Structure 1
Amino acid sequence: MNITDSLHLGVRIARPAPEVYGYVADPTHLPAWAHGLGDTVEKLDGEWVARSDLLGRVTVTFTPDNDLGVLDHYVTLPTGETVHNPIRVIPYDAETCELVFTLRRGPTMTDAEFERDAATVTADLNRLKALLER
């Protein structure tokens, strides 16, 4: 895929970075905050599968656990296309971190589609912030 644009969307979360990392790294938490990815997620035959009205059935592969705050995931769409979603938890101080999601725009994506995706990711990040700051 040729990348024509990337947009870094972030949110500051008033929780320690390791705590945010641990929550986001657990795929079972996705339905609570990542509505853009799916309404349900379950492990089937060794793969994480998400389902949504928007995307249909997708498989999600996560970067192995690490101490660097890298939470990248690869989403394989029903078409067979795989989309890489870079995401990072970056410590700000001992009690606060930033979560940054890099939204990539494909070569055939319209401005409206890219803006819609950005709005969806922003809503997801804000939902995650609200959940973790309760």
Structure 2
Amino acid sequence: MTERSRHLSVHVDRPVAEVYAFASDPANLPLWAPGLGGPLVHEDGAWSVLTPHGRARLEMTPLNEHGVLDHVVTTPSGERVHVPLRVVADGAGSEVVFTLRRAPGTSEEEFEQDAERVNADLALLKQVVEAGAAGGAGGPAGA
């Protein structure tokens, strides 16, 4: 059970389909989400990332037309953490919304540090996608 959630978001001046196509590809994570850890490895059909505590496994939500980018991180200790992430239309652009959950036992200072890391990752996503690194088509319908 979490003690508190905070929704962190960034406006990206690019269409939903473009943002979704880029952010939904796990291979692009190192380009915009260094806060997750690194390096990213794809082996035997599974994605994992090296964290300070060991290798964590990433399970991404299947591609969908709703802009859902949720993923589950299985920590080196075996804890499964659900990470809600969405791309939604915001005028001609997009809003990327990340729900940061405060786990029991996490101090206010640690929670604020987590929020700063997520905001930095979202800002980098905005920068990379708006610079044109995303390219491609597909993604949610109606974008």
Query: Which band: TM-score by shorter chain?
Result: over 0.9
Aligned to 1:35: 34
Q: Which runs of 4+ in 1 moved over 4 A?
A: none
| Higher relative contact order (CA closer than 8 Å, sequence separation 6+) | 2
Alignment partner, residue 105 of structure 2: 108
Alignment correspondent of 1:70: 68
TM-score by length of 2: 0.88
Structure 1, unaligned runs of 5 or more: none
Cα offsets for 1:62-106 (capped at 9, x unmatched): 11110000000000110100111000000112x300000000001
For normalisation by structure 1, the TM-score amounts to: 0.94
Gaps of at least 5 residues in structure 2 are 132-143
Instruction: Give RMSD over aligned pairs.
Output: 1.0
Q: Distance in 2 between matches of 1:112 and 1:74?
A: 24
Matches within 5 A, 1:52-131: 52=51, 54-93=52-91, 95-131=92-128
Matched residue count: 131
Letter in 2 for 1:19: E
Any idea what SS the aligned residue of 1:36 has? helix
Q: Hey, what's the Cα distance between the residues in 2 that align with 1:39 and 1:33?
A: 12
